[in-house]
């Protein structure tokens, strides 16, 4: 699954406020609630799922990227949010570097294979140094989304 299919401008936080690992996850989950992507009733359950996941190993994969992910028994479709930190977040990443780009997603537990496909697609995208450079320079949610979905614009004749 392509990351851009999971995102829209309202699922992009271009200037995160958090400076540490756990507050960054909370900020992004709360953004999903605020934009009505995640039901308020799921807020605590989802945070607990992320807490358990992050206690086992940080999802900071290196090169300034983190991909926190969790499962839900009650969601019917994957939900995601992209966050960018201008100053970097101490995410306890595997390489010890600060994290500037976070893709947080929640997958219905019944779709475990979709989780693996989504994780692989996201990780592959963020190995491209050109994409990371463009994301660092982008100013708006729309610019960020266009970088994450580099399809050429279609014109109608």
Is 157 a member of any domain? no
Q: How many domains, the chain?
A: 1
Q: Residue 31 forms beta bridges with which residues? A: none
67's tokens:
């991909």
Phi, psi (rounded to 5 degrees) for 119: -60, -45
Selected residue with higher pLDDT from 3 and 74:
74
pLDDT at 151 (0 to 100): 61
- Over pLDDT 70: what percentage of the chain? 94
Residue 71 and residue 103 in contact, taking contact as beta carbons nearer than 8 Å: no
State the number of CA atoms in the 13 A half-sphere of 45 facing the CB.
Answer: 12
For the entire predicted model, the pTM comes to 0.89
pLDDT at 117 (0 to 100): 77
pLDDT at 111 (0 to 100): 80
CATH number for position 103: 3.40.930.10
Report the SS3 class of residue 109: helix
pLDDT at 48 (0 to 100): 96
Q: How far apart are CA 2 and CA 121, in angstroms?
A: 6
pLDDT at 76 (0 to 100): 87
């Amino acid at each position: 699954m392509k990351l851009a299919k999971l995102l829209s401008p309202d699922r992009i936080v271009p200037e995160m406020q958090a400076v540490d690992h756990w507050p960054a996850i909370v900020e992004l989950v709360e953004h999903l609630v605020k934009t009505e992507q995640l039901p308020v009733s799921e807020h605590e359950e989802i945070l607990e799922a992320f807490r358990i996941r992050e206690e086992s190993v940080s999802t900071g994969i290196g090169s300034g990227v983190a991909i926190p992910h969790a499962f839900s028994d009650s969601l019917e479709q994957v939900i995601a949010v992209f966050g960018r930190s201008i100053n970097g977040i101490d995410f306890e990443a595997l390489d010890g570097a600060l994290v500037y780009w976070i893709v947080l997603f929640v997958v219905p537990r019944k779709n475990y294979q979709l989780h693996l496909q989504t994780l692989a697609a996201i990780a592959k995208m963020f190995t491209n140094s050109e994409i990371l450079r463009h994301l660092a320079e982008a100013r708006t949610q729309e610019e960020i989304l266009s970088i994450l979905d580099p399809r050429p614009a279609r014109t109608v004749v």
